[in-house]
Every structure is written in C-alpha cells, then in structure tokens.
Amino acid sequence: DAKTTQPPSMDCAEGRAANLPCNHSTISGNEYVYWYRQIHSQGPQYIIHGLKNNETNEMASLIITEDRKSSTLILPHATLRDTAVYYCIVRARPTNDYKLSFGAGTTVTVRA
C-alpha cells in the first residue's frame, strides 16, 4: 500500500467546513483512497472512499486531484461530534494484500 502524509492536527470552527488534506504521491493506478475516523478511543469508523472521481455521502465529500497524488476530505458543516482522529489510507481493491495499517492521522478539534 502507498504511504500517505497528513498534517498532525488542525482546528475547525463549529458550523464551518473542515478540509482535511492527504498526500499520496506514490499511489498506483489500482489503489483507492479511504478515509476513516476514530472518536476518542472508540473503534475507527469508515467515512468514504474513492478512486479518481469525487465522491459524496451523508458524512463527507472526497475530492481527489486529477493526478491522484493528493485528496481532501471535506466535512461540510463540522459539529463538536466531528472531533476525532482522521485517517487517510490507500489500498488496492480488490486486493490480495491485506496488510493494511493506519498512520498517526490528523487530529481534528472542532471548537464552539
């Protein structure tokens, strides 16, 4: 799996959009970008994933650059409950390589 680089932390004001960047410059053509989040020591929770098109679901939007070397997770209207560690990972799907590990992620703090 390709390496990803995320800022260690960021703050966001409640009600504003939170834009979380992720660099994955060595991503290969068959690798997807996945985002998970972990709220205060709970088990991580899947948010969204994409290959090259932008994706949106009820939780967030994922914007992937045309060269696929970076992406941005957008939380459109951040709430205090969105305070969490956000992990960006890349993996091939389907894949025979299941050695999937998570880096340190970005700690997002939403402030009132």
Partner 1 sequence: NAGVTQTPKFQVLKTGQSMTLQCAQDMNHEYMSWYRQDPGMGLRLIHYSVGAGITDQGEVPNGYNVSRSTTEDFPLRLLSAAPSQTSVYFCASSYTSGTGELFFGEGSRLTVL
CB nearer partner 1, residue 13 or residue 100? 100
DSSP per-residue string spanning 33-86: EEEEEE-TTSPPEEEEEESSS-EE-SS-EEEE-TTSSEEEEEETT--GGG-EEE
Q: Is 7 in the site for partner 1 (CB under 8 A)?
A: no
Please say whether the beta carbons of 25 and 70 come within 8 A: yes
Residue from the set 30, 45, 57, 79 that interacts with partner 1 by CB under 8 A: 45
Residue from the set 28, 46, 56, 65 that interacts with partner 1 by CB under 8 A: 46
Contact set with partner 1 (CB under 8 A) = 32, 34, 36, 41-46, 49, 87, 91, 93-95, 98-105
